[in-house]
Amino acid sequence: MATPISTGSEWTFELIETYDRAIHDIAVGEYGLDIYPNQLEIITAEQMMDAYSSVGMPVNYHHWSFGKQFVSTEKSYKRGQMGLAYEIVINSNPCISYLMEENSMTMQALVIAHAAYGHNSFFKGNYLFRTWTDASAIIDYLVFARDYLSQCEERYGFDAVEMLLDSCHALMNYGVDRYKRPAKLSLAQEKLRQREREEHQQLQINDLWRTIPRRQANGEDSEPVRFPAEPQENLLYFIEKSAPLLEPWQREVVRIVRKVAQYFYPQRQTQVMNEGWATFWHYTLLNRLYEKGLCTDGFMVEFLQSHTNVVYQPPVTSRWYSGINPYALGFAMYQDIRRICQAPTAEDREWFPDIAGRPWLPTLDFAMRNFKDESFISQYLSPKLMRDFRLFAVRDDDREDKLYVPAIHDESGYRQVRQTLAEQYNLGSREPNIQVWSVDVRGDRSLTLRHTQHNRRPLEPNSADEVLKHIGRLWGFDVRLESVDDHGQVSKTFECKVDKAHRELLI
């Protein structure tokens, strides 16, 4: 047996390095995790609050909403209502993990295993992150964004930039390409391309204007031209490219917000998978550390206490229940996949013939790389886990006065419960489906958006009105939002009139 690395709870730089090396040996040497190089940064609680309020990024542009976030974090932290998260990890290359000064040695080791090896390997391996984000360029891009925005502030004033950012932030969730692969970014290229774009767009005033003279020249009534030719799901992209009145710098700002939204999009799609993966690995790695005699019993007790809190799932009847805990579900699922590989039951062989009894490491690796929450759950959630969690589905139909239980954790319900839970993590159905429908090119240039209702779920009207005002500000002409029900009929219309005076103010 080796001697434990440390016995007290105080950390030192040497100890952190020793633990990191030991964990690295296990994670990379024994389990073969593929990771970005790690950068561990020791920070204070105040710095942690700073990091919180700039969505975890070490640099970001300035905006009042981050200040608001900071103010409320600070308030609840000072009152002791909330502890700070133990860790923040940034999907970049090298992968940056923050270790908080106040943590004990055990917690630092836990954070290293969780963030620097768990999340890190997930960022590097999962297909969504590989497709959507470029870890080596994000920090550079944010530096570019911050500098560009402060230049804009100097030139055009704080208020103009702030209003523009407000409007863009309102559409942030609609600033992602869901199906197209984005191009890679790099600082130098980005600067060059930004200038080129600016010039190009100035020369090439967009489709809206180009259509008018041609019609006069032809003088014949052809088919009315549809613009855009097909509905567009990426509202910010559409605005960046087609809003008639935006200045080049404003288009660039829209683009920056869109790029940042795109960067965070995979995180929103892989909550369960990502947190579950990191939790699974800190649990596995630290247990292995203990097996090798590198940490003490006291260390393990402290670690397990904290781990247990993290993966606690309060039942629906509990006062503390607020939905399914992604840490709990994700951790349980990876543990369960490992169990199915190592000790499959007859049920497992029936449900998962392709993984039952196979080596667990490659199976887990495959599961981590090729799924998002939605598909991960519908692929791997096992009947045993549904029983363990005692999952049941509840249907809430506003036409009926009682809730209905369509399925529970039993033989006839497994598939439906699993299907419903997977659907719950589908961002596409969690957020209202709103797309650009058409622009009245030859008339008043008004923009029409369409909300396609899913299961008759309506838009929340107050916020929809507010967001519409923001779109009006960006578009510069009237904006309409039609809500279309399941039968294809427009059931409700929101409208935002942009009057001429306002338009001139905008230019």
Partner 1 sequence: MSHLIDRRLNGKNKSAVNRERFLRRFRAQIRQSVARAIKGRSITDISSGEKVSIPVRDVSEPTFHHGSGGTREVVHPGNEEFVTGDRIARPDGGGGAGRGGKASDQGGGEDDFAFELSREEFMNFFFEDLALPNLIKTQLTGNSEWKTVRAGYTSDGTPTNISIVRSLRGAQARRIALGAPSLARLHEAEEELDELLERCDEDDPQVRELRREIHQLREKASNIPFLDPFDLRYNNRARVPKPTSQAVMFCIMDVSGSMDEAKKDIAKRFFILLYLFLQKSYDKIELVFIRHHTSAMEVDEENFFHSRESGGTVVSSALVLMRDIIQQRYPTDEWNIYAAQASDGDNWDSDSANCGQLLDTQLLPLVQYFAYIEITEGEPQNLWYEYLRVQAGHPQFAMQKIRNVADIYPVFRELFKRQPSTGREPA
Distance CA 447, CA 479 (A): 5
Burial of 498 (0-12, 13-18, 19+ CB in 10 A): buried
Within positions 65 to 104, which residues make up the interface with partner 1, using CB under 8 A? 65-72, 74-75, 94, 101
Tokens 């009207």 sit on residue: 461
Distance CA 19, CA 330 (A): 26
| Stretch of 81-89, 295-303, 312-320, 344-352 contacting partner 1, by CB under 8 A | 312-320
Return the amino acid letter for 221: D
Choosing from 30, 196, 466, 499, the residue that interacts with partner 1 (CB under 8 A) is 466
| Stretch of 3-11, 279-287, 321-329, 333-341 contacting partner 1, by CB under 8 A | 321-329
Name the minimum Å distance from CB 22 to partner 1. Answer: 12
Q: Does 196 bind partner 1 (CB under 8 A)?
A: no
Q: Does 421 bind partner 1 (CB under 8 A)?
A: yes
Distance CA 428, CA 450 (A): 15
Name the minimum Å distance from CB 316 to partner 1. Answer: 4
* Structural tokens at position 337: 């996949």
Q: Does 395 bind partner 1 (CB under 8 A)?
A: yes
Nearer to partner 1, 329 or 439 (CB): 329
Nearer to partner 1, 163 or 245 (CB): 163
Within positions 50 to 69, which residues make up the interface with partner 1, using CB under 8 A? 50, 53-54, 62-69
Query: CA distances (Å), 169 to each of 74, 108, 452, in order?
Result: 23, 35, 22
Q: Does 166 bind partner 1 (CB under 8 A)?
A: yes
Q: Mark out the alpha helices in 54-157 (DSSP H runs).
A: 64-78, 105-111, 120-125, 127-132, 138-156
Return the amino acid letter for 3: T
Name the minimum Å distance from CB 89 to partner 1. Answer: 13
Nearer to partner 1, 21 or 155 (CB): 21
By the 8 A CB rule, do 122 and 274 touch? yes
Choosing from 27, 90, 110, 116, the residue that interacts with partner 1 (CB under 8 A) is 116
Tokens 């103009």 sit on residue: 160
Distance CA 418, CA 20 (A): 38
| Stretch of 36-44, 199-207, 267-275, 289-297 contacting partner 1, by CB under 8 A | 36-44
Nearer to partner 1, 407 or 441 (CB): 407
Within positions 445 to 464, which residues make up the interface with partner 1, using CB under 8 A? 451, 453-464
| Stretch of 14-22, 238-246, 257-265, 355-363 contacting partner 1, by CB under 8 A | 14-22
Within positions 205 to 234, which residues make up the interface with partner 1, using CB under 8 A? none
H or E element that contains 483: strand 479-484
Q: Does 175 bind partner 1 (CB under 8 A)?
A: no
User: Tell me, what DSSP letter sits at residue 232?
Assistant: B
Q: Does 337 bind partner 1 (CB under 8 A)?
A: no
Name the minimum Å distance from CB 438 to partner 1. Answer: 19
Distance CA 173, CA 452 (A): 16
How many residues contact partner 1, by CB under 8 A? 101
Name the minimum Å distance from CB 308 to partner 1. Answer: 16
| Stretch of 46-54, 262-270, 280-288, 341-349 contacting partner 1, by CB under 8 A | 46-54
Q: Mark out the alpha helices in 172-247 (DSSP H runs).
A: 187-203, 207-218, 235-242
Q: Does 409 bind partner 1 (CB under 8 A)?
A: yes
- State whether residue 18 is helix, strand or coil: helix
Find residue 494's DSSP bridge partners: 481
* Structural tokens at position 402: 């009682």
Within positions 120 to 159, which residues make up the interface with partner 1, using CB under 8 A? 158
